[in-house]
Amino acid sequence: MPLAADYEWRSSEPIRSMGWRTIYADEHEPASLSQPSSDRHLLRMHSKEQISHDDYQKTADWLMSRTKHRPQVSIICGSGLGMLADSLDRQDQFSYSEIPGFPQSTVQGHAGRLVFGELKGKSCVCMQGRFHMYEGHSLLKTTFPIRVFKLMGVQTLIVTNAAGSVADHLHPGDIMIIKDHINFPGLVGLNPLHGPNDERFGPRFPAMSGCYSRELRSLAHEISKQLDIAGLVQEGVYAMVGGPNFETIAEARMLHRLGVDAVGMSTVPEVVVATHCGLQVFGLSLITNKVVKSYEDSDCVNHDGVLEVGRLRSQTVQRLEEAESLRQRRTESSGPSVSLREFPVVLWYDGRAAAL
């Protein structure tokens, strides 16, 4: 078996250490190296690709030249939750395929559209479909829209996702406000901030200890009580795994012992980049299934079931009334109902509109 030292590497980017020397990635590294080709591709994909500030700016300029909306909040819709965008008026829609630099969403339940619109005169932009590592996208591509939104003037990012419940007290149909996360890909070196840092977006070493806005989390609890849905809403810790397979029982038990409340395959890279950019972040997980933690349990998770829970939740809870009526009725004992698709938008509108 040839040794790594027998080859000349042409790249100056270190990828990993094998103890005696550093291995460097290059487009022409020998196929005979005892590293699976898929592994080499993954390492190259997450280490060599660079997207310049000009690339982000070109996409932002392209969008701003085609819509009059100047969004202050962006919303990323998780699996089965693309109907969030239906709450917006005066919509401008763009397919991801026509937006320069945007990757394509390939997952069922993700429409692959960027929707600009207004909620009571306040400008928003919704992503109907996000991008995942397991689709083959690099983390720079997965998080590409976040920096574009930053350049468009967005100040707040709202992320939603479908997640499996690890905690015993969370059940399908519940809404979990994300108070913190565990970034498993990041812990093994897959981070969207890898590579040269652009100070125009943020610092080299951003803190993540307060990436989910305490103010917005508190406001969400207040609104959920006033809307009489407090029984559905709890806070918790979200863990991101790479996917696309669901967790084994042993993995689920490990997550439970680590204090994880819900687990999914997205969201965290977007939050990391948004925090790096100085955006205020609020996150919601719709609990779509219980993660299997017992070898005696015969349940089996599948993506169709995840989408079905999202559909049923959006139909079960009634649509919001007009915002003015909502404010007035909150002083009454029986508050109005709110649908999952509108809850994040109204949270932002109710808490932010007066200050904008």
Q: Average pLDDT of 117-137? A: 89
| pLDDT reading at 337 higher than 50 | no
Q: What is the C-alpha separation between 192 and 243, in angstroms, rounded?
A: 17
What is the percentage of the chain residues whose pLDDT exceeds 90? 53
- pLDDT score of 165 more than 50: yes
How far is Cα 211 from Cα 322, in angstroms, rounded to an integer?
Answer: 31
Token digits of residue 70: 């100047």
- Tell me whether strands 280-290 and 175-183 are parallel, antiparallel or unpaired: antiparallel
Q: Which sequence positions are flagged as catalytic?
A: 79, 110, 132, 134-135, 162, 265-266, 289, 303
pLDDT of residue 229: 81
Q: What is the 3-state secondary structure (H, E, C) of 134-180?
A: HHCCCHHHHCHHHHHHHHHCCCEEEEEEEEEECCCCCCCCCEEEEEE
Residue type, 271: V
Kindly indicate the confidence band of residue 309, based on its pLDDT and cuts at 50, 70 and 90. Answer: low
Alpha-carbon span 154 to 74, nearest angstrom: 7
Question: For 98-109, what is each residue's pLDDT tens digit?
Answer: 999 999 888 766
Stretch among 193-197, 321-325, 335-339 having the lowest mean pLDDT = 321-325
pLDDT value at position 324?
A: 23
Q: Residue 82's pLDDT is what?
A: 72
Comparing 126-130, 254-258, 298-302, 322-326, which segment has the lowest mean pLDDT? 322-326
> Which tens digit of pLDDT belongs to each residue from 211-252?
999 999 998 888 888 878 888 899 999 999 999 999 999 999
Domain limits, the chain: 53-355
Phi, psi of 90 (to 5 degrees): 50, 55
Of residues 258 and 324, the one with the higher pLDDT is 258
R_g of the chain, CA atoms, integer Å: 21
In tens, the pLDDT along 54-83 reads: 999 999 999 999 999 999 999 998 876 777
| pLDDT score of 342 | 52
- Its pTM stands at 0.77
Q: Is 97 helix (H, G, I), strand (E, B) or coil?
A: helix
pLDDT top residue among 346 and 9: 346
- Tally the residues of the chain: 356
Say which residue, 153 or 289, is predicted with more confidence: 153
Residue 95 · residue 145 · CB < 8 Å: no
CATH code reported for the domain at 53-355: 3.40.50.1580
